[in-house]
Structure 1
Amino acid sequence: MRVYLPCTLPALAKAVDAGELGPAPLTGYAVTPALTEWYASGDTEELEYVALTEAARASLRMLTADRADGVAAAPRRVVVAAEVPDHAVSAGVDLEERARVRLSEPVPLAKVASVHIDDLDATSDIEAAIVALPAADGGDDDARFTVDGAEAHELMWYATQEIPDLLR
């Protein structure tokens, strides 16, 4: 099953050093039965895009948490796409996040298919979204608009052999 794992550049560097994304359990996003039922008119590609977008939102939250913990993380959302055995994935029933799944095993880097990351042109909008996210969660409409502005940026696709270049 293709799973989209939210990440950050510091977390990706740790995964490269460890040879895997982990430890388990991990939260990811995938084309689940609940997502398929909810988005009935979409084809597989559209459903995978929805899962990727949900993972990008989770990456923004990871960036916000990193910053709160004093971690110097570049303002770029990162999503790792990986092929995970079905037995290691369980889908939840959260109606708000129909694509969310739980992985019971770490993901070896050999199972990573690609990495998706914000272009450098998006960094100012991502930075603004990191700052605005707590207020957006509190119901501030202007802050929500700022967070939505970050989501307007498409993530760029990178092959696994390009990961070292991304980490430089």
Structure 2
Amino acid sequence: MRIYIPATWPMLRSLVKNGVLDPIGGTAFALTPRLREAYTSGDDEELEYAAMTEAARASLRLLAVEFGLGENATPPRRVVVAADVDDVTLRPDLDDGAVRINGAVPFERVAAVHVDNEDAEYAVRQAAEAVDRADLGDMDAEFLVGEAEDHELAWYDPSEIAFLVDLR
């Protein structure tokens, strides 16, 4: 199953250094039956994109924690790692596309990495500071999150990840 793991730049750096990605709480997103039911139309590709979008919003939440801890050197870029794994558990208590995986994901299972470009950094920083309020229904905060989500994530092949990390 293709999963989308919310991450941050330090997690991406760790993937390159250690050869594994350890998702926070084992949380990832995928095209689940519940996600499919939440949409009245759309093919698998469109629904996979919806799962990746949920992971990108979760990446904002991770960034909010890092910034709150004073990790200001962390680039304000959403990171989503796409990987293919066999064993997932559905998480109906979370978002429609949420799943839990057991353990770390080895680099060999990574299919791609999706990362914001530099031009999204301002919007992403603003969104990371607002995402909790947006989750609670604050429309001004939701607008800031939407500004970040208007930026498309760039796609990188696994062979490019080490070079990407070295650039920053």
**TM-score between both structures, scaled by the size of structure 1:** 0.91
User: For residue 73 of structure 1, what is the aligned residue in structure 2?
Assistant: 74
- CA deviations on 1:13-35 (whole Å, 9 max, x unpaired) are 11222211116851000000111
- Say if 2:45 is the partner of 1:37: no
- Say if 2:92 is the partner of 1:93: yes
- Indicate how the Cα distance of structure 1 residues 135 and 105 shifts in structure 2: closer, same or farther if over 3 A, else same: closer
User: For residue 122 of structure 1, what is the aligned residue in structure 2?
Assistant: 120
Give 1:36 deviation, angstroms.
1.3
Count of aligned pairs between the two proteins: 165
Aligned partner of residue 95 in structure 2, secondary structure:
coil
Aligned partner of residue 29 in structure 1, secondary structure:
strand
Indicate the percent of aligned positions where both proteins have the same amino acid. Answer: 49
Give 1:148 deviation, angstroms.
1.3
Give the distance between the partners of 2:150 and 2:122, measured in 1 at CA: 13
Give the distance between the partners of 2:69 and 2:99, measured in 1 at CA: 25
User: For residue 57 of structure 2, what is the aligned residue in structure 1?
Assistant: 57
- CA deviations on 1:22-60 (whole Å, 9 max, x unpaired) are 168510000001111222421100110000000000001
| Deviation beyond 4 Å, 4+ runs, structure 1 | none
Code of the residue aligned with 1:37 in structure 2: it is E
Whether the 8 Å contact between 2:61 and 2:132 is mirrored in structure 1 is no
- Say if 2:138 is the partner of 1:140: yes
Give 1:114 deviation, angstroms.
0.4
Give 5+ residue unaligned stretches, structure 1: none
Code of the residue aligned with 1:154 in structure 2: it is E
- Could you tell which deviates more after superposition, 151-160 or 141-150? 141-150
Whether the 8 Å contact between 1:24 and 1:106 is mirrored in structure 2 is no
Code of the residue aligned with 2:83 in structure 1: it is A
Aligned partner of residue 79 in structure 1, secondary structure:
strand
- Indicate how the Cα distance of structure 1 residues 25 and 150 shifts in structure 2: closer, same or farther if over 3 A, else same: closer
Code of the residue aligned with 1:15 in structure 2: it is L
Whether the 8 Å contact between 2:5 and 2:23 is mirrored in structure 1 is no
